[in-house]
Amino acid sequence: MLSPIKKRMAKGEKSLWTNCACGKLTLRDEFEKNLFECPSCAKTHLISCKQRFNIFFDDSEYTTLEYGVPPEDPINFSDPKGKYSDRLKESRKKVGQEEAMLFATGWLNAMPVTVGSMDFSFFGASVSPSVGECFLSGVQHSINNKQPLILFVTSGGMRMHTGILSLMQMTRMTLACSELKKNKIPFIVVAGGPCLGGTTASMASLADIIISESKDFLWGFSGKRIIEQNLREKLADEVQTSQWVLEHGGLDKIVPRKELRSEIYNILSILLKVKEKEINNTSDVSSIDGSLQKTSKAV
Ligand SMILES: [Zn+2]
């Protein structure tokens, strides 16, 4: 009698292969060396915050920034899928980080930079009060250390499980972006996945330069289905893709992942010289007065 086929993969063990929607299998090592882009169809895959930091910082060296965590389940939310607090624990276990956003500091071609990244697999990278706090503290670090800020965004919008407190993050994040401008800190946003809702309507659209690393990533406010239901007409397939938004002035550039480091370094070098001149030409230079921290404590 034939013995049953034994399960080859131990629990938690990663397969040596990774698959893509095009149906091709790629060796995980090769996939990682290709910066998580499919070698067959060139699809840009979504990546975690740590994978992002590893491929973006010089020598994959960086220090993660800490931030104060506000109450996590302020309205004791629960829906048919379960309690929000339980789902939060599950997401943390699955993704291996505390929230949908992480900030770190390190070097880009020897230039010190502050970098934020979001992970779509954590509650659709929606913005909770903790994510808002993480962003504010990243901005404060960037201002305190006079480091350019680069934010890799992907987000489904605000996390409604935390009620109106999530919507309030739009104002706080917008104020934080204006502090960056006041302090003449270059701010670059890179769409590293779909970006929708309040995230696009606040911090993601307030950068000096807005880039997408794929022409296919969605960029918009309301989802396509909602617009179609309101207008009672079908939208073209390409509406809200990064390529379409670029052609309509909502994005500045599409830069493939492999060219991002050099492209961002070039942009920052230009912006920093411009900013340097601005600082020399004005006597009214804003000072860092801790106003962000005050804003942060207010909510
Ligand atoms: Zn593929």
Structure tokens at 212: 């997408």
Distance 42 CA to ligand 1 centre (A): 6
Query: Ligand 1 (ion): which residues have CB within 5 A?
Result: 20, 22, 38, 40-41, 43
Q: Are 165 and 202 in contact (CB under 8 A)?
A: no
Q: Look at residue 285 in the predicted model and tell me its pLDDT.
A: 42
Within a domain: 79: yes
Which pLDDT score is estimated for 82? 93
234 in a structural domain:
yes
Q: What is the pLDDT of residues 4-53, one digit of tens each?
A: 444 555 555 678 999 999 999 999 999 999 999 999 999 999 999 999 99
Q: Output the CA 205–ligand 1 centroid distance in Å.
A: 29
For residue 282, tell me if it sits in a domain.
no
**Hunting for tokens 């970098």 — which residue is that?**
115
Expressed in angstroms and rounded, the spacing between residue 218 Cα and the centre of ligand 1 is 18
Asked whether residue 1 is domain-assigned, the answer is no
Q: Distance, CA 274 to ligand 1 centroid (Å)?
A: 40
pLDDT of residue 13: 64
Domain of residue 211, residue span:
47-275+292-298
Task: For residue 45, report the distance from its CA to the centre of ligand 1, in Å.
Answer: 9
- The predicted pLDDT at position 299 comes to 42
Q: Are 240 and 224 in contact (CB under 8 A)?
A: yes
Quote the pLDDT of residue 1: 47
Decide: 185 and 151 in contact? Cβ < 8 Å: no
Q: 37 CA distance to ligand 1 centroid (A)?
A: 8
The model's pTM is: 0.88
Whichever domain contains 176, its CATH number is 3.90.226.10
Tell me how far the alpha carbon of residue 52 is from its chain's centroid. 10
Phi and psi at 225, nearest 5°, equal -65, -40
pLDDT at residue number 273: 85
The reply to whether 18 falls in a domain is no
Q: Which residues of the chain have pLDDT under 50?
A: 1-6, 283-289, 293, 295-296, 298-299
Ligand 1 centre and the CA of 194: distance in Å? 18
Other beta carbons less than 10 A from residue 78's beta carbon: 14
Q: What total of structural domains would you count in the chain?
A: 1
The predicted structure's pLDDT at residue 296: 47
Q: Is residue 2 part of a domain?
A: no
Instruction: Note whether residue 161 is domain-resident.
Output: yes
Is residue 191 one of the residues assigned to a domain?
A: yes
